[in-house]
Structure 1
Amino acid sequence: MSTVKDGLANPAPLGLCGFALTTWLLCLINAGIFDVKSVGLVVAMAFAFGGTAQMIAGMFEYKKGNTFGFTAFISYGAFWWSWALFVTFFKGETPATFVAWYLGAWGTFTLMMFLGTLAKAKALRAIFFFLTLTFYALAIGDATGNHAIVNLGGYLGLITALCAFYLAAADVINESFGRVILPVGEPK
Structure 2
Amino acid sequence: MSAAPHDVEKVTTTGTDTNGAAPTNRYDYGGNPMAHIHSGPDGRLAAFGGEFQPGLYRSTEHRKFANPAPLGLSAFALTTFVLSLINMGARNIAAPNIVLALAYGYGGLVQLLAGMWEMAVGNTFGATALSSYGGFWISYAILLTPGFNALGAYEEAPADEASVLGFFLSGWFIFTFILLMCTLRSTVMFFLLFFTLDLAFLMLACGEFAKSNGAKSSATMLQQAGGAFGILAAFLAWYNAFAGIADRSNSFFIIPVIHFPWSDKGREARGKAPRETV
> TM-score, normalising length from structure 1?
0.92
Q: Which runs of 5+ in 1 are unaligned?
A: none
Q: Match of 2:254, as an amino acid?
A: I
Equivalent of 2:143, from 79, 83, 86? 86
Are 2:60 and 1:4 aligned?
Answer: yes
Are 2:195 and 1:138 aligned?
Answer: no
Contact kept in structure 2, 1:127 and 1:164, CA below 8 Å: yes
Runs of 4+ in structure 1 off by over 3 angstroms are 91-94, 175-180
2: distance between equivalents of 1:51 and 1:176? 31
Contact kept in structure 1, 2:97 and 2:144, CA below 8 Å: no
Per-residue deviation at 1:40?
A: 2.6
Are 2:182 and 1:126 aligned?
Answer: no
Contact kept in structure 2, 1:174 and 1:182, CA below 8 Å: no
Which position in structure 2 is the counterpart of 1:100?
166
Which position in structure 2 is the counterpart of 1:159?
232
2: distance between equivalents of 1:92 and 1:147? 23
Q: Which runs of 5+ in 2 are unaligned?
A: 1-51, 54-58, 155-160, 212-218, 266-278
Contact kept in structure 2, 1:62 and 1:70, CA below 8 Å: yes
2: distance between equivalents of 1:176 and 1:15? 22
Equivalent of 1:45, from 102, 108, 120? 102
Contact kept in structure 2, 1:27 and 1:154, CA below 8 Å: yes
Per-residue deviation at 1:23?
A: 0.1
Distance change in 2, residues 1:176/1:33 (3 Å): farther
Percentage of pairs with the same residue: 39
Distance change in 2, residues 1:9/1:158 (3 Å): same
Structure 1 residues 42-75: Cα deviation after superposition (integer angstroms, max 9, x where no partner): 1100000001111111111101111100000000
> Greater share of strand residues, 1 or 2?
2
Structure 1 residues 129-170: Cα deviation after superposition (integer angstroms, max 9, x where no partner): 001100000000110021111110001100000100111111
2: distance between equivalents of 1:49 and 1:150? 23
Structure 1 residues 98-129: Cα deviation after superposition (integer angstroms, max 9, x where no partner): 10111011001000000011122222111100
Compare CA radii of gyration and give the structure with the larger one: 2
Q: Match of 1:100, as an amino acid?
A: G
SS at match of 1:151: helix
Per-residue deviation at 1:4?
A: 2.6
> Greater share of helix residues, 1 or 2?
1
> TM-score, normalising length from structure 2?
0.63
What's the RMSD between the two structures over aligned residues? 1.9
1: distance between equivalents of 2:210 and 2:203? 11
Equivalent of 1:17, from 63, 74, 80? 74
Which position in structure 1 is the counterpart of 2:245?
172
SS at match of 1:118: coil
2: distance between equivalents of 1:137 and 1:68? 25
Distance change in 2, residues 1:179/1:71 (3 Å): farther
